[in-house]
Structure formats: C-alpha cells, structure tokens
Chains A and B, each alone.
Chain A
Amino acid sequence: MIEELRLFVRIALYAAPAAALYWLLSSEVSGTWMLSALVVAVAMWVVSATALSRRRPQPSSAARLLGFEETETESQRSSLELAPQVLPGPSAWPAAAALAAFVTGLGAVYGGWFAIPGLLLGVTCTVGWLTQIQRR
C-alpha cells in the first residue's frame, strides 16, 4: 500500500502550497476553496489508505513516502489471495437501477410524477441487489 499512499501524499504536497500561493497572489475565493477542498479530499484518501495499510508493515521514514523505491517485500506482496475465487454471476439489477435513475431524472425535468415510479423502481432495485448479494 505504500506506493499508493505516496501517490496521494504527492498530490497533497503539490495542492497545498498551490492553494496558498493562489490565495496570496489573487485573493480569489472560489478557486482557493476548490484547491483547498482538493487538499482535504486527498488527505481523506491518505487517512483511508493509512487505515487500510495498518495491517501491513509501515513505512520506516518520511523519505519513503516521497521516493520512488520499493522493497522486494513490497513488490512481492499482493492482497489477491490465490485461493479459488467466485466471480459474481449475471445480474439485471445494475441495468434496472440505471433505468430507475433515468426515470427519476426525468422527474427533475418534467415534474414529480415521473420521479415517483423512478424512486419506487430504485427502492426495488436496491432491495433486489442487496438480496442477490446476500444469497450468493
């Protein structure tokens, strides 16, 4: 996970000073907010990735966060176990759920009456989808 973590750290390391510099140069609010939001979003990814990687050896130093080197242990590691895997079978729920979103979207254009069948179909799809996952 360390290389994935580095990826987001690098983006944050670019976006944070870019946001500060942009504010200092322009005092423009919306752009500064968007760049700052990017930093926050990236930070959230870093926190998530760190939480996920706690089960594995942690990076030894800050230098490893920024570098392009990886140890042999890292390069051989994989989260994909080679135990027999079960691939999911066909399912009509994803297409039906998209249809539900389409009909609900029509409600936003033509009025609430279109949204009602869309929302009902959406609830049906959610229940069907979850039930299908549970059965498998």
Chain B
Amino acid sequence: MVTLEHSVPRTAGGLLEWFTSVDHKKIGILYLSSALVFFVLSGILALVMRSELAQPGLQLVDRQTYAQLFTMHGTGMMFFFGTPMVIGLANYFVPLHIGAPDVAFPRLNAFAFWLTLAGAVMAFAGFLTATGAAAFGWTAYAPLSGDAYSPGTGADLWIIGVALSGVAGVLAAVNLLATIFGMRAPGMSMLRMSIFNWNIVVTSILIAFSFPALTVALALLWADRNLGSSFFEPAGGGDPVLYQHLFWFFGHPEVYILILPFFGIVTEIIPVFSRKPVFGYKGFVFATLLIGAYSFSVWAHHMFTTGAVDGPFFSATSMLIAVPTGIKFFNWIGTMWGGKIHFQTPMLFCAGFLFMFLMGGITGVFLASPPLDYFVHDTYYVVAHLHYVLFGGSVFAMFAGLYYWIPKMSGRMLSEGLGKLHFVLLLVGMNAAFFPMHQLGIDGMQRRIPDYPASFGYAQENLVSTAGAFLIALAVLVFFINLFVSLRRGPLAGDDPWGGYTLEWATTSPPPHHNFHRLPPIRSARPVFDERRENAQAGPEGGSP
C-alpha cells in the first residue's frame, strides 16, 4: 500500500466554486451537466421534427425553420453533447483510473470546458438572431453554407461557435494524453491501464489529429463568407469537394471519437457484472488502435456520390473496420461466457448496447459498398444507421456508464427500479423510432425534408417513428427523475458498490479533492480486485492495513 500526501488548496465555496474550480472531478461534472443540457435541447428539436413528420403536409414549422431544427439537432448532439460527454467522463475517471491526483494541466482543463460552453452558446445563439440559426445541416457543405445560399449571422455564429469548441477539444485531448503518458501511479504501466483509458488515449489522438482539419475547413468557409475569398466557390475557381474532404477527414474520426470511449465503458462494466476478468486484454488494445488508424482512411465513403473519390479504396478500408470491431464483440462475448452475469441496470444497458450497436454496424457495412450507397445516399436509411450507431451505441453505453459511475461521483445509488424502467422504455422507444427509418430509406424518403406526399406511402412508418421518439423522451424523463430523487434520497453507495476492479473503487465515494488517501499495489489491470482477493486469502485478521 502506498500512502499519498497532498496539500489541498482552499476552495471558493458556493456557485463561485464551480466557476473557478480547476479540480478535474468538478470540471468533469460541468462537462457532463452541460452535455446533458444540450442532449435535452437537441432532443427537443428532434421531437419538433418528428411531430412535423408524423403525417404528410406542413403542420408545425415552415421549411426554413425545419432546416434550422435539423441543423442544430445534429450540431448539438455531435459537438455539444457527444464530444463533451466523452471528455467529461474522461476528465472525471482518467486520473482516478491511473492513480493520479489531477490532470496534467488543471487550468487548461478548465479553460477547455469554458471554451466548449462558449462555443455551444454562440452556435445556439443563432436562434435569437433575425435570420434564425444556421440551416445548412451539421455538415455545413459548401456552397450551401456560403453567403449566397445561407445569408445572415446565424450561420457565422455557427461557424465561430463550432470552431471554438473544436479548439477546446484539441486542448482537452492534449491534456488527457499528457495525463495518461506522464502521471500514472507506480506500477500502472500502459498495459495495466483500464481498457477505458486505452480508448481515451486513442480517442484523444483522433481528436488531436482530426479536429484541426475541421478548424481549417471552418476558417476557409468563414473567409469565403466574409472576406470574399473563393476556396469553396466554383464561380471563383474554388472546389466545393475540397470542403467535403476537409470536413470528413474530421467527420469520420469524429464518429469513432463518439463511440470508442463508450466501447471502453462497456469493457469496464461487462467484466465486473460477469464476475470475470476481461477476455483478451491485448486484443482489445490492438482492436482499439486498429480502429483508430483505420478511421483516418475511410473519410470519403461519405462522398461516394460526388464521383470524385476512389470508391474501391474507401470501400475496402471501410469494410476493414468491421474486423477490429468484430474482435471487440468476440471479446465482450468471451468475457460474459461462463461468467456469473448480474443483470443490474448498468449491465442491462451494456446488453442493449451490444444488440443495438451490432445493428448499426451491420447497416454500416452495407453503406460501405458504393453501389448500395448510391441507392440509399441521403435517405432515411443513413439516418437509421447513424442513430443505431450513435444512439443505440453511444447513448446506451453512456447510460450504462452513468448508472455505473454516478454512485462513485455522488456517493448515492440510483434507483434500480427506475433504472430498469428507463432501460425498457429507451429500448422500445429507440427501435420504434429508428427501425422504420430503414424501410423509409429503402423506399426513397429523403432526409432533411419536412414534408412528403401522402401518396408515397411513408405515413405509417413516420407515425411509428414519431411515437418512438416520444417514448425516448419519456425514458429520458424517467432518468432525470431517478437522478433528481436518488441524489437526494438514494441509499449510500459506499466505496465499492459493484465489486469493481479498477482504481476508482479504491477511494471514497465521492473521492476526496486529491483523489486517493492511499493506493493499493498495482500488479495487474485489476488492482482493486487483486487487493480484495489478497485480503480474503489472508483472512479477517491478516488483511493489509
């Protein structure tokens, strides 16, 4: 056992403490809270869209407003919910997992959070302008996003807001890499780190190398709109396809930025609730690295229909990603195989994740084939695929992680009954909302269009999909009720309510300012389990102090 001494700084107290704190745990909670706020906001935008689409004709919003809704829904979910959620969880748990007292650059960490929030507020502030928010889709393809087709300040606010949050993402990623590379406790070698941490390493590398491409694309777009340049304007000799190259060189790694950390969360939870060590530790590490590397060479599968990219190259590399993902699935199943599985709420969400993400992954293999992609490009089939990956994958794993880790963060358990109700509602709602979209896409329904003729036969699937969306909203409401009630009156969690394996379970719930009063000896990837076993073998009087 190693005893750690730290001098604990004075804190401001009250609300001011949250504005001035540089403690990674508080910054992590700020990230998570802001991400959940934008999850709800962007979700409300989706509900308005789904209400509009429930039946043919325009009932609630006009076409321009609808364009703003889907733009800000995508923007909110990708930039201001997904990425901050990833960084927030990493902020809170990376130092705990490696036995560090904080991140490498605490003030920079705080700056990155506030910059992310500033970017989010700026992008959403477009709704308050006379011309409304940006209305060119979250991808902001040129020349649609140029001054000619998207006049008004809402579009410029979007560009600057997203650019600010992109810079913040790079700062956070560099900070996390420096923390993991430089602040691991004695004995915590790279190959003893949790799989969650490995996924954060690869995610941070993806952020550090892909976000600059987005920043460049946005800077050039801003210059086209405001300085009269023609980087993406064909009339001035520019190339709109260049924008797509730059955007998707960021955009496809972004998908893995939004899924890899959640792979890590699931890989932490499944062994604990299966009462087994993780199956194939090095296989997981290898597969994570491979996914990270591949993700940089698949970007133009989003651009098959431009006709300006090499279809076979991007088809082959896109399909190759199924191999490391398959390794992960094999290892997850191998971890559960023969284990004593406990289906408490975190594990239920992991099981849901496995099935839902598998669906998204398989439809992704179809989309990697250019002939099929030409057929369903920009249809609801793509929307269904994206949501099975990012909602069925990331959001299910996020809830698994929240149910698993909120007891550590708050010291109180969330209600199991409400958690299971949340899971069932979310599972049913998600499939009702997104499964019919596959058929709609195959039938030819285009995305980003608020209306469709009744004669096209889309009405029934759209109605089911809208009902599913409201069921998802109900499920999320149950989660927030659970959170609100349990954080006040939930049973105390204790230090290690699940019998966890990794270092966060060796400290108090919630952890002290400096994280650890003592660290167990680290001789494997499961130091807390090792210590518990040694204590059990030593008997009640022979345990380590």
A residues lining the B interface (CB < 8 Å): 1, 3-4, 7-8, 10-11, 14-15, 18, 21-22, 25-26, 28, 30-31, 34-35, 38, 41-42, 49, 68, 70, 74-80, 82, 84-95, 97-99, 101-102, 105-106, 108-110, 129, 133
Contacts and interface: CB of A to CB of B under 8 A. Distances in A.
Nearest to A109: B156
B209 A38 contact: yes
Contact of A98 (B118, B190, B310): B118
Interface in B1-30: 2, 4-12, 17, 19-23
Contacts, number: 188
Nearest to A98: B114
B450 interface: no
Nearest to A84: B5
Contacts of A49: 181
Contacts of A109: 153, 156-157, 160
A130 to B, nearest CB: 11
Given A35-B297, A92-B19, A98-B118, A87 B313 contact: no
Contacts of A105: 118, 122, 160-161, 163-164
Nearest to A1: B181
A95 B164 contact: no
Interface string B151-186: 001001100110110000000000000000111111
A87 B6 contact: yes
Given A70-B190, A78-B184, A11 B292 contact: yes
A92 B184 CA distance: 28
Contacts of A80: 99-100, 182-186
Interface string B302-326: 0000001110110001000000000
B61 interface: no
Nearest to B181: A4
A28 B308 contact: yes
Contacts of B448: none
Nearest to A90: B20
B190 A4 contact: yes
A68 B198 CA distance: 13
Given A70-B190, A75-B187, A85-B514, 14 more contacts: A1-B181, A11-B205, A18-B317, A22-B313, A76-B187, A87-B8, A87-B101, A89-B11, A90-B10, A91-B20, A91-B107, A95-B20, A98-B111, A105-B163
A120 to B, nearest CB: 17
Nearest to A132: B107
B107 A88 contact: yes
A47 to B, nearest CB: 15
- Most chain-B Cβ atoms within 10 A of its Cβ — which of A80, A86, A94? A94
Contacts of B117: 98
Nearest to A108: B160
10 contacts: A3-B191, A7-B201, A15-B296, A18-B296, A31-B299, A75-B192, A82-B2, A89-B10, A90-B9, A99-B114
Nearest to A71: B189
B110 A95 contact: yes
B63 to A, nearest CB: 25
Contacts of A15: 293, 296-297
A78 B187 contact: yes
Interface residues of B, number: 82
B296 A38 contact: yes
A79 to B, nearest CB: 5
B242 A30 contact: yes
B6 A86 contact: yes
A19 to B, nearest CB: 9
B246 interface: yes
A127 to B, nearest CB: 14
Contact of B297 (A22, A86, A129): A22
A85 B7 contact: yes
A53 to B, nearest CB: 10
A21 to B, nearest CB: 7
Nearest to A2: B190
B132 to A, nearest CB: 14
B285 interface: yes
A30 B216 CA distance: 13
A87 B106 contact: yes
A90 B22 contact: yes
Contacts of A3: 189-191
Contacts of B514: 85, 87
B437 interface: no
B293 A11 contact: yes
- Most chain-A Cβ atoms within 10 A of its Cβ — which of B118, B156, B182, B309? B118
Contacts of B310: 22, 25-26, 28
Interface in B132-155: 153
A71 B412 CA distance: 41
A11 B122 CA distance: 35
B9 A28 contact: no
- Most chain-A Cβ atoms within 10 A of its Cβ — which of B20, B23, B121? B20
A108 B122 CA distance: 12
A44 to B, nearest CB: 11
Contact of B183 (A10, A79, A110): A79
- Most chain-A Cβ atoms within 10 A of its Cβ — which of B7, B111, B205? B111
B189 A68 contact: no
Interface in B492-524: 513-514
B246 A30 contact: yes
B182 A79 contact: yes
B289 A94 contact: no
The 5 A-B residue pairs with the shortest CB-CB distance, nearest first, are: A98-B114, A89-B9, A26-B310, A75-B189, A3-B190
